[in-house]
Structure 1
């Protein structure tokens, strides 16, 4: 027959892990990440079952006085409503980057779906420009001819162009995001299609000797703009994968679980799309040196993905290390 001491010895590691997770949720909840939140729920439900068992088998044992407060704290964290919500500034400062870093393999998949076709389109535009240009959609035909070197933009034209590009980029990114509801098929199409068009345009422009003009057209905003489209793809693939591989959950439940993080990523990307529109309207003309335009564009993209690593990946890694170390808390959580 199991004694209270043996029961506590067997379950203390999980109780200690729950205690550590609850402390982290109270002090720095953003470090838990999606996996940490799910693990917290699992630990709480297991502790609640342990409490019910202990009440039946060990009534009046001091163990109950230590386990009951832990379960109450867990219930408040899992089911209670918190009065402190993450502010917009806190989300943009850290939460957004954590969301992007939660699924590293989706980041790689989105980049591959965009840049793989872009590379093929670039080669196609170089080696078979008549066919590549002829098969491009009509709305992109003019884009194959970069602007004439030295052309000036007046303020009204630049402002209108900036607004047009801003809304177009938001539309492309949100299409990649919303396509997740189609099991990710529309997301994949949006990434592949836009990557192919980008590559073909680059191949046609460079093949025609207009490489410098092409750089003026895209380099100041293009790297960050591509990053934003990739983020929309990550959000869409996240929802699509939830439908394809729901695990033990129903597909509707799995989708709801991933929809909020995906929406947060899409909304959090809008300010960077606005920045891309401003740069495309005001930093693509001949007034600025092309080396400055290219340097500005790549610096912004590098800064963006550096933040994903520094504020996202590191926070996710710290949460993982904390979960692995927390069983060592064991008995200390209850004594």
Structure 2
């Protein structure tokens, strides 16, 4: 078969594919359900034609034209739409499934933070003089907050929000990266931050500043603590891969857990940004304490509700139907 005869027989399909690509642009969904299916059929046929042309007509202008057409079609069918779909799918389901797929690690991370927090609160309330020595200088004011709450001007609130956001991200990433130390640094980060929170709360309540302390942390605290716990979950995944690699080599086990752990850490960053925003703008006297507490409690329920709801594994039948 000559190149000219081959082109004459297949030209109609190639022209239809080019027309479909022009109509679709960078959004194949513009073609509608039937149009997308037809685009896939035309792409697969053109790819088969290219394989034939490369074998029979190497170096011919026809083969180069087919190569360009198939590359454009592949980008439309897979690469461009796939990246968008993957990004949306991760934040709507993938992130939550990563958190929910290891429930024992979720429980362990919460216990490592909540246990010391309870003990620290009791310590701060019963022995404030000794407990106060644990608090770093930058957190001393939190143990004796102003009754009316912080009252920042917009510029100061923005700067404070950024500093809090940076600190939250730093703590969460320490809990995550600490997994590479076989979990020692992760456990320390969860334990220390839980103990510190408990001591500060115990000192504030013991000094009669319970309402002021609630105003200080209620809008952002539940979500902020959740994010630190999530960083701990990611770190514990890495640690467990190193401690119990099973039949795999430790390096292989670590590589297998590294991707989900990084996904968990990356997916938590938007929530940490929200925590910083809330601490900068929703802790002052403008909002009643009840509103602040309701806001913080709602965000906590929403976050872990999404873990339960969106973290459920997709049933195989549902996946099969979704592909049709």
1:208 counterpart residue number: 207
Residue of structure 2 equivalent to 1:189: 188
Gaps in structure 2 of 5+ consecutive residues: 1-77, 319-324
SS in 1 for 2:313: helix
The equivalent residue for 1:280 is 279
SS at match of 2:180: helix
Following superposition, the deviation at residue 221 of structure 1 comes to 0.2
The alpha-carbon deviation at position 135 of structure 1 amounts to 2.9
Using the size of structure 1 for normalisation, the TM-score is: 0.69
Greater relative contact order structure (CA < 8 Å, 6+ sep): 1
Secondary structure in structure 1 of the residue aligned to 2:90: helix
Residues 89-139 of structure 1, C-alpha deviations (whole Å, 9 max, x = no match): 211011000000110000000000000000000000000001000232333
Partner residue, 1:247: 246
Over aligned residues, Cα RMSD in angstroms? 1.8
Count matched residues.
Answer: 239
Secondary structure at the counterpart of residue 88 of structure 2 = helix
Aligned to 1:230: 229
Aligned to 1:111: 110
Alignment of 1:1-335 (within 5 A): 84-85=82-83, 86-149=85-148, 152-312=151-311, 314-315=312-313, 318=315
Q: Give the Cα–Cα distance (whole angstroms) in 2 for the partners of residues 176 and 251 of structure 1.
A: 20
Q: Structure 1 CA distance, aligned partners of 2:201 and 2:150?
A: 20
8 Å contact kept, 2:165–2:276 = yes
List per-residue Cα deviations over 1:165-194 (Å, max 9, x = no partner). 000000000000000000011000000000
Distance 1:221 1:135 in 2: 23
SS at match of 2:247: coil
* Counterparts of 1:263 and 1:178, CA distance in 2: 9
How far the C-alpha of 1:150 sits from its partner, in A, is 5.6
Structure index of larger Rg = 2
**TM-score of the aligned structures, taking structure 2 as reference length:** 0.71
